[in-house]
Amino acid sequence: MTRETRVVLPLTGLLAADVISTTGTEMTAVALPWFVLVATGSPAQMGAVLAAEFVGMAVLGLWGGRAATLLGPRRMMLASDLVRAVLIALIPLLYWAGALSFPVVLVVGFVVGAFFPGYSSSQRLVMAGIVGDDELRLTRAGGLMNSVNETASFVGPALGGVLVVLIGAANVLVVDAVSYLCAFGLVALLVPAAGTSAGADENGSGVLDGLRYVVRHRALRRQVLGLGVIEVGWAAMVATLPVVAMHHGGATVAGWLLASYGAGSVVGGLISARARTASGRTATWAVVGNAAVLWLLVLPVPVWVLAGAVAANGVCSGLFFPRFFSALTSGTPPALRARVMTSVTIAISTPGPVGFLGAGFLAQRTGSTTPSLLLVSVAATVGALITIRGLAVRAAPDAPLGRVDADTLAVGE
């Protein structure tokens, strides 16, 4: 087998699994909140359902980093797909049996969310094992994966909005469960068990090693803090768009608004896939653009303008995150990668419930989406300012750790 075949076939399997499972997940991202919003009439309860998954990431996500280290990235992906397929299928099965309650939906979201950090970090580690540790190759491969993933994020919500109308939310959840099983099969058949670069963590003292690593590196610490604040704005936007859609066309409009983000991310990811260098100012300008375009959301503009702003936000994300994660992967000692990647994913995602719950509470309490959209813009701006400071840091770590210099982690020079 040639080197090209050894790279292309596993990478194709990895990307195909990602696009199938993400399409199902994004359909559920429309179907489940819409189901709760219509059934209860409560934006606050809808926000709680969205927040439950992120709370699961924060509370149990570090376990995923430990599991990824012990099982290996590929096995972690396989286990995650199987368990999530069962959990998602529980909701429609219980609904049809007349046994579904709001707390059950919250618990399922919580447990499903717990698998995301370990799965996401494992996916990137498997990719690094396929294409190698070179930062530019990782940036290009990451851009390709981002564009494939966000193609699903574009198709999924739009398709989900249509299918909710045609077949109902419960059946859409069944499709999502099947998509996880398809992803399991593709990874099992096409992605080899060997060749990942996770490394064995023989000296690590526990799941907090990854967090300690983040804290001890100024550039990375500031970037993660800023991205966490940006996550609050993103979560608030996701929670507010269905409420906006209720007054401008229903579930189909909600799907297209969420799909706009995916469409923009595809463009940004494709640009990153053709990157000539992993350095430069692209990451910095992407963060600035992310904050600037979201101020359009607070203006009294037509829905198509809102969709354009959301799409532009997606472009900026597609430009930034492949660079961020490629620098993080190549700059972290192999023995710590699984835990550091998981810790970073958790740290960025943990503030998300503040956005979901805050936007839902503001929309329900005021009867208007303007305060929720203002939360989106303010959080994105504050987060951008913090992230830019991290991107500008070129100093050494506060304390030595591993075999990496902080300069490697400052992706926006």
**Number of helices (H), then strands (E), in the chain:** 15, 0
In a domain, 196, yes or no: no
Confidence at residue 31, expressed as pLDDT on a 0 to 100 scale: 80
213 Cβ contact list (under 8 Å, min separation 6)? 220, 332, 336, 339, 340, 343, 401, 402
Largest Cα–Cα distance in the chain?
63
**Token pair for 199:** 């490394």
Number of residues in the chain? 413
The CATH number covering residue 339 comes to 1.20.1250.20
Cβ-based neighbour number of residue 333 at 10 Å: 14
In a domain, 362, yes or no: yes
In a domain, 103, yes or no: yes
C-alpha–C-alpha distance, residues 17 and 120, integer Å: 13
Is residue 64 within 8 A of residue 92, CB to CB? The reply is no
C-alpha–C-alpha distance, residues 166 and 126, integer Å: 37
pLDDT along the chain (413 residues), means of 10: 65 84 79 75 77 77 68 85 91 86 87 80 78 68 70 75 82 88 90 56 54 83 91 89 76 76 79 64 86 89 87 88 79 75 80 84 83 92 90 51 39 37
In a domain, 200, yes or no: no
C-alpha–C-alpha distance, residues 204 and 16, integer Å: 33
The secondary structure element, H or E, covering residue 322 is: helix 303-331
Confidence at residue 401, expressed as pLDDT on a 0 to 100 scale: 39
In a domain, 93, yes or no: yes
In a domain, 260, yes or no: yes
C-alpha–C-alpha distance, residues 242 and 121, integer Å: 29
Domain tally for the chain?
A: 1
**Token pair for 391:** 């991107």
In a domain, 182, yes or no: yes
In a domain, 195, yes or no: no
Confidence at residue 377, expressed as pLDDT on a 0 to 100 scale: 92
According to DSSP, residue 412 is labeled T
Instruction: Provide the whole-model pTM.
Output: 0.65
Confidence at residue 379, expressed as pLDDT on a 0 to 100 scale: 93
Three-state helix/strand/coil letters over the chain: CCHHHHHHHHHHHHHHHHHHHHHHHHHHHHHHHHHHHHHHCCHHHHHHHHHHHHHHHHHHHHHHHHHHHHHCHHHHHHHHHHHHHHHHHHHHHHHHCCCCCHHHHHHHHHHHHHHHHHHHHHHHHHHHHHHCCCHHHHHHHHHHHHHHHHHHHHHHHHHHHHHHHHHCHHHHHHHHHHHHHHHHHHHHHHCCCCCCCCCCCCCCCCCCHHHHHHHCCHHHHHHHHHHHHHHHHHHHHHHHHHHHHHCCCCHHHHHHHHHHHHHHHHHHHHHHHCCCCCCCCHHHHHHHHHHHHHHHHHCCCCHHHHHHHHHHHHHHHHHHHHHHHHHHHHHCCHHHHHHHHHHHHHHHHCCHHHHHHHHHHHHHHHCCCHHHHHHHHHHHHHHHHHHHHHHHCCCCCCCCCCCCCHHHHCCCC
Q: Please give the residue range of the domain that contains residue 283.
A: 3-190+205-409
